[in-house]
Amino acid sequence: MVTIDTTTSLNLVKEQLDDSLSDIETYLQHFAEDTSDVQQLENAIAYIHELKGVFKVIGLSGAAILTENMEDLAAKLLASEASLFDSDLSILGSATLILSHYLEYVQERALVLQCCLSLPLMTYVLP
CB 103 within 8 A of CB 10: yes
What global pTM score does this model have? 0.81
> Which tops the pLDDT comparison, 23 or 103?
23
- Residue 5: per-residue pLDDT: 62
Domains of the chain (ranges plus CATH)? Answer: 6-125 (1.20.120.160)
- Residue 51: per-residue pLDDT: 96
Digit-coded pLDDT (tens) for 33-75: 998 899 999 999 999 999 999 999 888 888 999 999 999 999 9
- Residue 68: per-residue pLDDT: 95
Torsion of CA 39, 41, 47, 51, to 10 degrees: -160
| Residue 22 pLDDT class (50, 70, 90 cuts) | very high
> Which tops the pLDDT comparison, 105 or 11?
105
Q: Where are the alpha helices (DSSP H) in the chain?
A: 6-33, 38-58, 61-78, 85-109, 119-125
1 pLDDT exceeds 70? no
Q: How many CB atoms lie within 10 A of CB 31?
A: 23
CA nearest to 55, candidates 28, 95, 26: 95
How far apart (Å, rounded) are the C-alpha atoms in residues 78 and 101? Answer: 26
